[in-house]
């Protein structure tokens, strides 16, 4: 019985093979990203209409969730460093399912605020960062390949869940859509995390990191110019990504495009992410993370310039979606591999958690700041201009980090 699941049919060893490990984590990433991030912009409009809330008030909820996700990143990463990845990610999916269902039934008010704070905790326990930490713990120095493979799976989240959420909204309304998203977290993500993450192996593949060792490595990292270059680059980049993730749908609707056309354009971003990651995976042995990161950051201002110029032009909008999607896809790999490749392989979860805090704080307020910019001007034009300016900061700060070596 110890070698099989309770059904006695599928060997646990098979479910925890390297291929099944990445496939299971990857499928769960699709659901987690799709239900906790990509569904929100589509749900926001009908939710605001029913509750009588403004755009700024609705996006404050998203900011609360992202802020909580950032503040809890360090303890979550440290728990995974100590071998608790299976418990953390399983509990995160349970929490996500319960809170999505709670969101679907609440009439509004302060209980909804508490739900979104809890959803932020669920994000910090289920999205890429805990997934990367689990992969890093399993594979050690060979984690880059596993991280790349995991991002290939996650790249399909927007492609699957944006059309799926729109379909559910058309059939079930926004509350029924949330109930369906809650169910898929409980029915798919929870059993996948339990099945493919080997708690005993995670606890024994490396010596468990002590709190004192984590703190020593973190103090050393904070003294490195490379750390601060990366911190600024990732903080600003993910602020842009956060704002566009939550506002791209209404931004394109504002351009006069139909909902179907907008969903179609946004659905291209996912395949472009995957295509970019496949190219990088194929060239992984010949390209450094430094070089990949510099090239990727240079693509961001070009993508946002296309968005600014797109207007009603479908070909230009498609070009933006493909360039932005591929750059974002590659940037996810850079984010996951930058710490072990450019800084240190020790205490991955703790160092990544510290690097995440400023990223998450600005990422948290970015959707609300974008909503305020929209309110100030009555259009999304200033939001696009701000994204272009911020992307130039990303180029400069990552270039600074790429030219330095840790002492």
User: How high is the pLDDT of residue 241?
Assistant: 86
- Which among 117, 114, 97, 95 has a CA at the least distance from the CA of 106? 114
- The rounded radius of gyration (Å) of the Cα atoms in the chain is 20
Given this model, what pLDDT does residue 344 score? 73
More confident site: 290 or 126: 126
- Using the predicted structure, report yes or no on whether residue 9 has a pLDDT greater than 60: no
Give the mean model confidence (pLDDT) for residues 328-346.
79
pLDDT tens, 163-185?
A: 999 999 999 999 999 999 999 99
Per-residue pLDDT band for 15 (boundaries 50, 70, 90) equals: low
- Is pLDDT above 80 for 406? no
| Residue 361's pLDDT band (cuts 50, 70, 90) | confident
Q: Look at residue 205 and tell me whether its pLDDT is greater than 60.
A: no
Residue 238 has pLDDT above 60, yes or no: yes
Residues in the chain: 407
Among 245, 249, 264, CA closest to 46: 249
CA gap 394, 237 in Å, rounded: 6
Q: Is residue 209 pLDDT above 70, yes or no?
A: no
Kindly report which listed range (188-192, 216-220, 280-284, 364-368) carries the lowest average pLDDT score. Answer: 280-284
pLDDT at position 270: 82
End-to-end CA distance of the chain: give it in Å, rounded. Answer: 51
pLDDT confidence tier of residue 358, bands split at 50, 70 and 90: confident
Q: Give yes or no for residue 370 having a pLDDT over 80.
A: yes
336, burial (CB in 10 Å: exposed 0-12, middle 13-18, buried 19+):
buried
Q: Which residue has the higher pLDDT, 373 or 333?
A: 373
Average model confidence (pLDDT) across the chain: 84
pLDDT at 352: 73
Identify whether the C-beta of residue 279 lies closer than 8 Å to the C-beta of residue 355: no
- Residue 207 — pLDDT band, cuts 50, 70, 90? very low
Ranking 93-97, 148-152, 387-391 by mean pLDDT, the lowest is 148-152
What confidence tier does 348 reach under pLDDT thresholds 50, 70, 90?
low
DSSP letter for 208, please.
P
Buried b (16+ CB within 10 A) or exposed e, 169-202: beeeebeebbbbbbebbbebbbebbbbbbbeeeb
Greater pLDDT, 213 or 68: 68
| Residue 353 contacts residue 74 (beta carbons within 8 Å) | yes
pLDDT confidence of residue 236: 94
**What pLDDT, on the 0 to 100 scale, is given for residue 177?**
97
Between the alpha carbon of residue 310 and those of residues 232, 251, 290, the distances in Å are: 29, 12, 31
Give the pLDDT band of residue 210 (cuts 50, 70, 90): low
Lowest mean pLDDT across 265-269, 279-283, 363-367: 279-283
The answer, yes or no, to whether residue 240 has pLDDT greater than 70, is: yes
- The pLDDT assigned to 154 comes to 85
Q: What is the mean pLDDT of residues 110-128?
A: 93
Residue 395 has pLDDT above 80, yes or no: yes
What pLDDT score does 199 carry?
A: 65
Taking 70 as the threshold, does the pLDDT of residue 217 lie above it? yes
pLDDT of residue 5: 43
pLDDT per residue as tens digits for the range 38-68? 899 899 889 988 988 888 888 889 888 988 8
3-state secondary structure of 4: strand
Residues 215-220 have a mean pLDDT of: 79
Question: What pLDDT is stored for residue 165 in this prediction?
Answer: 94
């Amino acid at each position: 019985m110890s070698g099989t699941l309770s059904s006695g049919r599928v060997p646990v060893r098979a479910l925890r093979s390297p291929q099944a490990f990445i496939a299971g984590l990857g499928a769960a990433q699709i659901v987690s990203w799709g239900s906790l991030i990509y569904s929100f912009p589509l749900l926001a409009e009908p939710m605001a209409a029913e509750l009588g809330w403004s755009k700024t008030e609705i996006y404050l909820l998203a900011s609360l969730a992202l802020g909580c996700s950032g503040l809890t990143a360090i303890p979550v990463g440290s728990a995974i460093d100590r071998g608790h990845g299976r418990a953390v990610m399983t509990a995160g999916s349970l929490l996500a399912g319960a809170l999505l269902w709670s969101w679907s039934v609440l009439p509004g008010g302060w209980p909804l605020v508490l739900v979104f704070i809890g959803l932020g905790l669920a994000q910090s326990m289920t999205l890429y960062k805990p997934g990367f930490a689990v992969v890093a713990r399993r594979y050690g120095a060979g984690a880059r390949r596993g991280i790349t493979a995991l991002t290939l799976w996650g790249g399909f989240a927007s492609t699957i869940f944006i059309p799926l959420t729109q379909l559910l909204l058309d059939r079930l309304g926004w509350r029924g859509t949330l109930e369906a998203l809650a169910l898929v977290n409980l029915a798919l993500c929870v059993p996948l995390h339990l099945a493919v993450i080997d708690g005993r192996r995670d606890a024994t593949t490396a010596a468990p990191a002590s709190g004192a060792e984590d703190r020593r490595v973190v103090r050393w990292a904070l003294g490195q110019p490379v750390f601060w270059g990366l911190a600024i680059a990732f903080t600003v980049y993910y602020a842009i990504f956060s704002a566009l993730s939550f506002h791209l749908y209404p931004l394109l609707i504002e351009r006069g495009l139909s909902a179907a056309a907008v969903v179609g354009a946004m659905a291209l971003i996912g395949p472009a992410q995957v295509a970019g990651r496949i190219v990088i995976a194929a060239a992984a042995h010949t390209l450094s993370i430094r070089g990949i990161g510099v090239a990727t950051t240079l693509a961001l201002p070009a993508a946002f310039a296309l968005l600014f110029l797109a207007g009603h032009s479908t070909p230009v909008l498609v070009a933006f979606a493909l360039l932005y999607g591929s750059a974002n896809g590659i940037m996810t790999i850079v984010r996951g591999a930058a710490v072990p490749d450019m800084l240190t392989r020790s205490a991955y979860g703790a160092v990544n958690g510290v690097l995440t805090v400023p990223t998450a704080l600005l990422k948290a307020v970015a959707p609300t700041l974008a909503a305020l910019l929209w309110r100030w001007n009555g259009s999304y034009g200033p939001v696009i201009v701000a994204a272009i300016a911020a992307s130039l900061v990303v180029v400069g700060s990552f270039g600074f980090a790429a030219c330095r070596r840790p002492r």
